[in-house]
Amino acid sequence: MNRTMHDLRNYASSILLASEFIKMGEDHDALPQFNDIIYRNSQNIRDRLNVVLDISRIEDENLFLHFEAVSLNNLLNNIIQNFQLLSKNKQQTIITEYADDIIINIDVKKMTEVFENLLSNAIKFSFHHSLIRISTSLKENNIEIGFHDTGQGLNETDKKNLFIKYAKMSSLPTDKEKSNGLGLSISKMLVALHNGNIYAESEGKNQGTSFYVSLPMEITQE
């Protein structure tokens, strides 16, 4: 929470500073730049507050799921399509290895958030020209979705801290992308609400990482 408050203060300070320059009105050519600063940091404040509110709702058990039956393959393909530009900018290739199409009963919005976070991390923490693989499989009564990268990998400390809010990781985004340190902790909460499990495997630094989401075939809301 301290980190969130620190970020919000920085965003607000940038907005106030840009507003002061606009109020002074001495450099009209710079107005578009100041407007952009205000707009961008206002979005940052909104997004960060939405994340905090989501965490509060989950922790207070006030978040209700809305289940619907969807094609898992179609859902993943749509998410991949949304991230194609980001991966192409880093010359990364995304491939899929799906089991036969599976109809799964989930809260589409919440699980989309989980899958988007895992794919975003794979792109963010992988090197240029690398390979990212998304897989699905059936294991006993569970559906397992895997996000595999050939990036920076995890050390033992990383593995222990992965799902802790704001935990410091040994890996850094390879294009200096932003990371708020909350995505994996939120994903773990959302998967738990589906009576599922999320975990990671890595052989070590620079050996890549695989994140797995395991969901029961039949999910009921408690």
Do 93 and 54 lie in one domain? The reply is no
Do 121 and 210 lie in one domain? The reply is yes
Do 84 and 154 lie in one domain? The reply is yes
Do 41 and 146 lie in one domain? The reply is no
Strands 131-139, 142-149: parallel, antiparallel or unpaired by DSSP? antiparallel
pLDDT digits (tens, 9 = 90+) for 11-49: 777 888 878 777 776 666 777 787 888 877 787 777 667
* Contact yes or no for 169/158 (Cβ under 8 A): yes
Average pLDDT, the chain: 85
Please tell me the distance from the alpha carbon of residue 78 to that of residue 72, in angstroms, as a whole number. 10
Q: Where are the alpha helices (DSSP H) in the chain?
A: 2-24, 31-59, 72-82, 84-89, 108-125, 156-161, 183-193
pTM higher than 0.85, yes or no? no
Question: CATH number, domain at 149?
Answer: 3.30.565.10
Do 50 and 94 lie in one domain? The reply is no
Domain that holds residue 121: 67-216
Alpha carbon distances (Å) from 88 to 4, 84, 148, 193: 31, 6, 17, 33
pLDDT digits (tens, 9 = 90+) for 142-179: 999 999 999 899 999 999 999 987 778 888 888 888 77
Do 8 and 29 lie in one domain? The reply is yes
Is 80 exceeded by the pLDDT of residue 197?
yes
Q: Enumerate helices (H) and strands (E) in the chain, giving the number of each.
A: 7, 7
pLDDT band at 88 (very low <50, low <70, confident <90, very high): very high
Give the residues across from 147 on adjacent strands.
134, 211
* Contact yes or no for 80/112 (Cβ under 8 A): no
